[in-house]
A = this chain, B = another copy of it.
């Protein structure tokens, strides 16, 4: 699928753009795990899965979402950890979370070979998600993983520059975003919206941005399949062709480059901020 040569000091990032089907959660979960396994076996060290990778997206009711929700300490993420352990990888993917108190969240987890490293509950819910998910109650995290400092968001979160900038300020070298971008969302001329936003977000905070989108259709709704890996200069290192559906994007990223925020000889993307002069409310 892709070659095994990894440059020294780089990390191989993979976005496994799968095609879950809300009508068949078992197949969706199996498809995500198979794509993850393939990516790890092919040498990827940081592997992303889409939002709600095991469950599909277009629920019809809160009950239906609850029926497929799983705890963070359950078999789903343990399975991802088993795949991660095959190659010392870090896995980032979205899942439908059943919390201990019974609430259901649209969450993303960071998992390594030893288990769950972090769980984030999506702060900004899109459209009907608000009918079946509780919005998150904690900031989006930045996690020091065995493969770099990873900031975490989910889909619509990328439309809040406060959140993505906050991840960069907290030290993220890579901002990872599992997404399910609906096909009917109008894209500005020229490129899918996730590509535009990933590139701009990467450029503005001089970080890597990896968006793992999904393909396929469910219940009459399609998805863009617009995964992308953007570099700190705003260039796309890898990008899914619109409509390509299931595929795995790969890019070798020198994450250390994201620590250097200099812009030319006298400027710094974060150091030049003038926070005392920003309007925030």
CB <8 Å contact, B278 and A163: yes
Count of residues in A whose CB is under 8 Å from the partner chain: 57
Of A5-13, A98-106, A191-199, the one contacting chain B is A191-199
Alpha-carbon separation in the docked complex, A146 to B274 (Å): 30
Of A26-34, A65-73, A243-251, A265-273, the one contacting chain B is A265-273
| Nearest CB on B from A192, distance (A) | 11
Can you name the residue of chain B whose Cβ is closest to the Cβ of A161? B161
**A160 CB-CB contact with B under 8 Å:** yes
Of A40-48, A49-57, A76-84, A119-127, the one contacting chain B is A119-127
Alpha-carbon separation in the docked complex, A193 to B265 (Å): 18
CB <8 Å contact, A189 and B235: yes
- Which chain B residues border A135 with CB–CB below 8 Å? 274
Known: A166-B280, A275-B280. 15 other contacts (CB 8 A): A127-B264, A130-B266, A160-B278, A161-B204, A162-B165, A162-B275, A163-B274, A169-B280, A170-B279, A188-B233, A188-B235, A189-B235, A196-B196, A197-B200, A200-B200
